[in-house]
Amino acid sequence: MSHHRPDYDRADLLYSEEQRRRRDASPWTLVQGVLAPLQFAVFLLSLLLVWRTLATGEGAALATASVVAKTLVLYVIMITGAIWERDVFGQFLFARPFFWEDVVSMLVLALHTAYLVSVFADLLPLAQQLYLALLAYAAYVVNAAQFLIKFRLARRQTAGGNSVTVQP
């Protein structure tokens, strides 16, 4: 009985050899690697501040500033991520291996942007703004999980020596 683990389904593989080479050569790979944990740290701090404000009514200005900061970091990571995607796959967004991650990223961007509009145009009361921020954060968590799964898959692909482009 063979205990050999079957190769990954071709649809699960992310990079051709050339795409892997471009990924490894792109300076934007390192930028993404720095910004992703930074964004997560800003998210966690902001989440605590938002919860505190919703629970106690205190620290509204700090909670608001933290969500604005999280949104700005999100914009930076999205712009640099699009540049990375162009470097690796030849298009700014919606490359086949990251199509669904990019779709959810657009939702995350829309919700964060809606939050900014609600704050700067004073469209919603504070509590509703903060609930909108929590909705944006929930979408961000889903998106972050998507990218972590892809990161893990990419590591497995590299460790296993597989380098096949995702097929339709």
Report mean pLDDT in 10-residue bins for the chain, 168 residues: 38 78 94 96 98 98 98 98 96 94 97 98 97 98 94 79 42
- For helices 60-89 and 27-56, angle between their N-to-C axes, nearest 10 degrees: 160
How much is the pLDDT for 155?
82
How much is the pLDDT for 3?
40
- For helices 27-56 and 126-160, angle between their N-to-C axes, nearest 10 degrees: 150
Range of the domain at 135: 10-160
How much is the pLDDT for 6?
36
Residue 120 in any domain: the answer is yes
| Element housing 88 (H / E) | helix 60-89
Query: Into how many domains does the chain fold?
Result: 1
d(CA 80, CA 100): 18
Residue 165 in any domain: the answer is no
| Cα-based distances in Å from 111 to 74, 88, 92, 119, 165 | 11, 27, 21, 12, 32
The pTM score is 0.83
How much is the pLDDT for 66?
98
Residue 154 in any domain: the answer is yes
d(CA 163, CA 168): 16
How much is the pLDDT for 160?
63
Residue 81 in any domain: the answer is yes
Residue 22 in any domain: the answer is yes
Residue 115 in any domain: the answer is yes
Residue 95 in any domain: the answer is yes
